[in-house]
A and B are shown apart, each in its own frame.
Chain A
Amino acid sequence: MKNKPHLDEEALAELRDVMEGEFKLLIQTFISDSLERIASLKAALNAGDANAFCNMVHSLKGSSINIGAPRLGTICQAAEMAGKAQELNQASILLIAIETEFQIVSDRLRALLI
Chain B
Amino acid sequence: MEEPAADNYSLKVLIADDSNSDRLILKTLLIRLGHDVVEASDGLEAIARFEDSTPDIVLLDALMPRMDGMETARQIKVLAGERMVPVIFLTSLSDTDALARCLEAGGDGFLSKPYNRLMIKAQVHAFNRMRLMHQTLTEQRDLIGERNRQLMEEQEVAKRVFDNVAHTGCLDAANIRYHASPLSIFNGDVLFASPRPAGGMLVFIGDFTGHGLPAAIGAMPVAEIFYGMASKGFDGADILKEINQKLKRILPSSMFCCGAMIEADFKLNQLLLWNGGLPDGWLIRASGEREILPSRHLPLGIRSADQFDAEMDVISAIPGDRLLMMTDGVLESRNSGNDLFGETGIARALDAGGRQQHPFDAVMGGIRRFTGLQGGNDDLTLLCLEMVDEAGFATLSDRSIPSALPGPAEWHCIYELREHTLNTFSPLPLLLHICMEVPGLRRKSGEVYTLLTELYSNALEHGVLNLPTEWKRTPEGFERYYQERERRLRQVDGHFIRFGLYHSLQSTGGRLRIICEDSGTGFDFQSHLACAVDGSPTTARNYGGRGLLLLKRLSKSLVFHNQGNCVEIVYDWHSSEISSNLVESQS
Contacts and interface: CB of A to CB of B under 8 A. Distances in A.
Q: Do A and B bind each other?
A: yes
Interface of A: 11, 14-15, 18-19, 22, 25-26, 29-30, 33, 55, 58-59, 61-63, 65-68
Contacts of B91: 62
A66 B22 contact: yes
Contacts of B22: 62-63, 66
A68 B63 contact: no
Interface stretch (B109-117, B126-134, B569-577): B109-117
Contacts of B19: 33, 59, 62-63, 66
B473 interface: no
B92 A29 contact: no
**Interface majority SS (helix, strand, loop, mixed), chain A:** helix
Nearest to A30: B21
Given A11-B114, A61-B92, A68-B114, A22 B21 contact: no
Given A11-B114, A66-B115, 19 more contacts: A14-B117, A18-B29, A19-B24, A19-B25, A22-B28, A25-B24, A26-B25, A29-B21, A30-B21, A33-B19, A33-B21, A55-B63, A59-B18, A61-B92, A62-B61, A62-B91, A63-B22, A66-B22, A66-B114
Interface of B: 18-22, 24-25, 28-29, 32, 61, 63, 91-92, 113-115, 117
Given A11-B114, A59-B18, A66-B115, A26 B24 contact: yes
Contacts of A26: 21, 24-25
Contacts of B117: 14, 18
A15 B113 CA distance: 13
A14 B19 CA distance: 20
A106 to B, nearest CB: 12
Contacts of B25: 15, 18-19, 26, 66-67
Contacts of B113: 62, 65-66
9 cross-chain pairs, A with B, having the tightest CB-CB distances, nearest first:
A30-B21, A62-B92, A63-B19, A29-B21, A66-B114, A62-B113, A65-B114, A29-B20, A65-B113
A18 B20 CA distance: 16
Contacts of B18: 59
Contacts of B21: 26, 29-30, 33, 63, 66-67
A40 to B, nearest CB: 11
Nearest to A33: B20
Contacts of B115: 66
A65 B90 CA distance: 13
A27 B20 CA distance: 11
Contacts of A22: 24, 28
Contacts of B32: 18
Contacts of A58: 63, 92
A59 B63 contact: yes
A27 B19 CA distance: 13
Nearest to A26: B24
Contacts of A62: 19, 22, 61, 91-92, 113
A29 B61 CA distance: 18
Contacts of A61: 92
A59 B21 CA distance: 11
A22 B28 CA distance: 9
